[in-house]
Amino acid sequence: MYMVRICSIGAASQDVFMSGKDIKSHLDPVEHVDVESFKLGAKLEAEKIDFATGGGATNAAVTFARQGLDSSFIGKLGRDISAHGVIVELDNENVNTQNVVYDETNGTQYSTILLTDSGERTILIYRGVANSHKPADYENLDFTQYDWLYISSFGGAMDALDCIFQIASRLGKKIAFNPGGAELAQMDKLKPLLEDVEILIVNKDEAQLIVEGGNIEELARHLLHFVPLAIVSDGPNGVTACDGKTVVRAGMYEDVKVVDRTGAGDAFGSGFLSQWVIGRSLKDSIVFASANSTSVVTKIGAKAGILSKGVVLHAMPLSEKPF
Ligand SMILES: Nc1ncnc2c1ncn2[C@@H]1O[C@H](COP(=O)(O)OP(=O)(O)OP(=O)(O)O)[C@@H](O)[C@H]1O
Ligand SMILES: [Mg+2]
């Protein structure tokens, strides 16, 4: 059987999760927001530590691989121990890393995640290579060997993204795009890229930066002015997908205890694409995306909960109607 070949492009990182009773949130009486704050000079005990790799693109690549697709990752790594951790994990997951770009001066992205027992977290992030994408890093890449590109957070490097989109469009490769905050902050440069996008996956707040709309269905419909297939998610409140023929509106897959929401969006977008590329319907692809992301939030780290091929899904609240 033909194996669809997907290349996931974007961020990779080494993540360290720390939790324990000293790591907790409280309501700031002045700002009226939940904060995790630590007294200067304090030494806080973390009873639990988990090492995991992250970065939207490596998380997505693992979904594709676990779903039995031919999966590759392209992004930047430094020459350091974190890069080694990322490569070892991707090798173990059967993700091809032969086209990874190495940066000789900046370090691999690294995050320390301070997890509270409610599943919320504060992240200390060193971006390193994730802020150093240049067109020259990608201009000689050959995408002929892939059928689809899944492009996610790119540190706002719009020139490098433009270069990647141009190569892909020259070769007629299909693009699924899950832009990050740094790309969405540059709407004048983002909108022209959407011309080459087949599938756009954004959450509600992100969709509202691109189009107007009072609810996620309106937002998804309006996004079809830019792309043939749009998906707008809204955390536990559900998701709407439109492909110009059908509108699928789905609720919560399962009311789970959220342990760590890192990677929810990645598992959702990649989960959708993993099914769509093998010819599953809009509805079935949304069910899998929802199941994949719901599973991810029940585990620490962005990859541990990613579903493997053959997992049995259950029904979920969902409606389907003509566009
Ligand atoms: N609390 C939750 N309970 C169950 N499922 C959840 C929860 N939060 C998120 N999900 C699942 O993850 C999907 C994507 O979540 P969300 O809409 O928050 O994406 P996002 O804002 O892009 O996430 P990220 O911050 O990871 O990029 C949802 O559609 C849902 O299936
Ligand atoms: Mg997201």
State the DSSP string of 221-240. Answer: HHHTTT-SEEEEE-GGG-EE
Q: Which uninterrupted H or E stretch holds 216? A: helix 216-223
For 159, the token pair is 């020139």
Give the distance, in angstroms, between the CA of residue 181 and the centroid of all CA atoms in the same chain.
12
> The pTM is what?
0.94
Does residue 293's CB lie within 6 angstroms of at least one atom of ligand 1? yes
Which atom of ligand 1 is found nearest the CA of 250?
Answer: 29
CATH superfamily, region 5-322: Ribokinase (3.40.1190.20)
Does residue 252's CB lie within 6 angstroms of at least one atom of ligand 1? yes
Task: Determine which residue's CA is closest to atom 14 belonging to ligand 1.
Answer: 265
Distances 203 to 106, 111, 118, 181, 184 between C-alpha atoms, Å: 31, 23, 22, 11, 12
Question: How confident is the prediction along the chain (323 residues), in pLDDT tens digits per residue?
Answer: 789 999 999 999 999 999 999 998 889 999 999 998 889 999 999 999 999 999 999 999 999 999 999 999 999 999 999 999 999 999 999 999 999 999 999 999 999 999 988 777 899 999 999 999 999 999 999 899 999 999 999 999 999 999 999 999 999 999 999 999 999 999 999 999 999 999 999 999 999 999 999 999 999 999 999 999 999 999 989 999 999 999 999 999 999 999 888 899 999 999 999 999 999 999 999 999 999 999 999 999 999 999 999 999 999 999 999 99
pLDDT number for residue 178: 98
Which atom of ligand 1 is found nearest the CA of 262?
Answer: 26
pLDDT number for residue 20: 93
CA of 167 from ligand 2 middle (Å) equals: 25
Q: Which uninterrupted H or E stretch holds 83? A: helix 81-92
Ligand 1 pocket mutation pick from 268, 273, 298 by most atoms within 8 angstroms of CB: 268
CA of 77 from ligand 1 middle (Å) equals: 27
